[in-house]
Amino acid sequence: MKVLITGGCGFIGSHLAIRLKGLGHQVWALDNLSRQGSELNAQRLMPLGVQVVQADVLNAADLSLPAMDAMILAAAEPSVSAGLQGAAGGVVDVNLKGTLVCLELARQWSSRLVFLSTSRVYSIAGLRTLEYRRSAKRFEWCGDACPGFCPNFGISEDFSTAASRSLYGATKLASEIMLSEYSRLYGLGAVINRFGLVAGPWQMARADQGVITLWVARHQLGLPLRYIGFDGQGHQVRDVLHVDDLCELVMRQLEDISHWHGHILNVGGGMQRSISLRELTELCVDTTGNRVDLDSQAVTNAVDIPIYITDNRRIESLTDWRPQRSVEQTVDDISEWIRKADPAVKRVVSG
Ligand SMILES: NC(=O)c1ccc[n+]([C@@H]2O[C@H](COP(=O)([O-])OP(=O)(O)OC[C@H]3O[C@@H](n4cnc5c(N)ncnc54)[C@H](O)[C@@H]3O)[C@@H](O)[C@H]2O)c1
């Protein structure tokens, strides 16, 4: 297949590009290299024969690209805090207008589509309403099940997507809606994956995005960290999906799109791969041998949530794909990558 990956020099995009190339596909990685460190991913893609196209996704229709059999839409401003302290234009441009440009191309080329969406489409107020208690190391749900929520499994696709969900979440949800329309109107095979937290090597972590890698990197490099929000004790919980598990899923989806067509699926590490920041700190100390200064900010920002854990039951009913890598392995892999990385990588991931 000819496959175009927008955001192809980002964290997830570059892993997908390498996988696809390894399977013998022709791969184009379109990226404007706006994410700090994406140029380092571009440098490792080019020798492998991935066509790196340095361009803004908004201008993708002006490029002379061949008709693609498949497109993976991964270009984004992926921070849930985007626009909190400034103009909304940037995040809306890349996350929503960028999707629309790609959908037009997909229509012309009759491409199959894989959309990398997010758990952040779900209502922040709704997620904050779920009852929880504080145990020594983490927050734990303690209330009753409600639509889209089961305390033993987490958040499913039926959870409310009502406002508000952050600019990031809103642009992703709007993109999902447009993609579904294009898919139906023009007969494009398409699947939407709502990923929770994804982590692994080659994630160019920033203070506002890529928390697992940021945590490991700053431990590895002996730099301070800060617990932010919900009293600043690090009890917030997320589930973690290793990027290699994500890649294995997307390969299956591209190879047999008719099986996946029309589905909107939560995809994450699930209950078994959930961890709080406090627990992550201990894991990072064990893995790297370094304990770092931990500051605390009690005030919670407008888009944070106490707990998010993915209910994978819908996707598990469609496939025998399952996440394989533990949180410990994810942290190990990131630590090993940073330990061996050259100074340019270390400069970027030290945040
Ligand atoms: N990392 C996660 O935990 C996570 C979770 C859920 C969903 N996602 C989604 O997966 C996708 C990839 O995320 P990621 O973690 O690899 O992020 P990333 O920031 O590493 O990759 C995104 C890439 O898009 C590029 N980009 C940004 N604006 C662009 C533009 N206007 N034109 C062309 N390229 C542009 C950046 O330079 C970057 O390389 C995103 O759509 C994100 O919303 C990520």
Is 142's pLDDT higher than 80?
yes
- To the question of pTM greater than 0.95 for the whole model, the response is yes
- For residue 7, report the distance from its CA to the centre of ligand 1, in Å: 6
Q: Which residue out of 6, 14, 16, 32 has the highest number of ligand 1 atoms within 8 Å of its CB and is therefore the one to mutate? A: 32
Band of pLDDT at residue 311, cut at 50, 70 and 90: very high
Identify the pLDDT of residue 240. Answer: 98
- The residue with tokens 């570059």 is 14
The H or E element spanning position 224 is: none
Q: Can you give the C-alpha Rg of the chain in angstroms?
A: 19
Cα 298 from Cα 308, distance rounded (Å): 19
For the stretch 37-70, pLDDT in tens is: 999 999 999 999 999 999 999 999 999 999 999 9
Identify the pLDDT of residue 111. Answer: 98
Which residue's alpha carbon is nearest to atom 4 within ligand 1? 198
Q: What is the mean pLDDT of residues 260-274?
A: 98
Q: What is the mean pLDDT of residues 291-317?
A: 97
| 3-state SS, residue 300 | coil
- For residue 261, report the distance from its CA to the centre of ligand 1, in Å: 23
Band of pLDDT at residue 335, cut at 50, 70 and 90: very high
Compute the half-sphere exposure of residue 155: CA atoms within 13 Å on the CB side of its CA: 33
Q: Determine what percent of the chain is predicted with pLDDT higher than 90.
A: 98
Instruction: Calculate the alpha carbon distances from 337 to 200, 230, 297, 342, 345 in Å.
Output: 9, 31, 30, 10, 10
Dihedral angle at the C-alpha atoms of 243, 63, 22, 175, nearest 10 degrees?
30
Contacts 24+ apart (CB under 8 A), 84-92: 84/301, 84/302, 84/303, 88/167, 91/167, 91/168, 91/171, 92/167, 92/171
Cα 277 from Cα 245, distance rounded (Å): 22
Band of pLDDT at residue 99, cut at 50, 70 and 90: very high
Identify the pLDDT of residue 51. Answer: 98
Q: Which residue out of 19, 34, 63 has the highest number of ligand 1 atoms within 8 Å of its CB and is therefore the one to mutate? A: 34
Ligand 1 pocket, CB under 6 A = 7, 9-13, 31-35, 38, 56-58, 74-76, 78, 94, 98, 116, 118, 195, 197-198
Nearest to 247 by CA among 309, 316, 324, 305: 324
- For residue 31, report the distance from its CA to the centre of ligand 1, in Å: 9
Domain that holds residue 160: 2-349
| Closest ligand 1 atom, residue 98 Cα | 31
Q: What is the mean pLDDT of residues 188-199?
A: 98
Identify the pLDDT of residue 312. Answer: 98
Identify the pLDDT of residue 350. Answer: 84
Which residue's alpha carbon is nearest to atom 18 within ligand 1? 10
Nearest to 74 by CA among 52, 90, 94: 94
Label the pairing between strands 2-6 and 26-31.
Answer: parallel
Nearest to 114 by CA among 281, 283, 257: 257
Identify the pLDDT of residue 180. Answer: 98
Q: What is the CATH number of the domain that holds 31?
A: 3.40.50.720
Identify whether the C-beta of residue 302 lies closer than 8 Å to the C-beta of residue 169. no
CA angle 244, 250, 253 (to 5 degrees): 150
Cα 135 from Cα 307, distance rounded (Å): 13
- For residue 195, report the distance from its CA to the centre of ligand 1, in Å: 12
Is 279's pLDDT higher than 80?
yes
Nearest to 27 by CA among 42, 49, 59, 55: 49
Which residues, 6 or more positions from 312, have their beta carbon under 8 angstroms from its beta carbon? 153, 266, 267, 268, 270, 322, 323
Identify the pLDDT of residue 314. Answer: 98
Rounded to the nearest integer, the mean pLDDT of the chain is: 97
Is 351's pLDDT higher than 90?
no
- Total domains in the chain come to 1
- For residue 257, report the distance from its CA to the centre of ligand 1, in Å: 22
- For residue 242, report the distance from its CA to the centre of ligand 1, in Å: 16
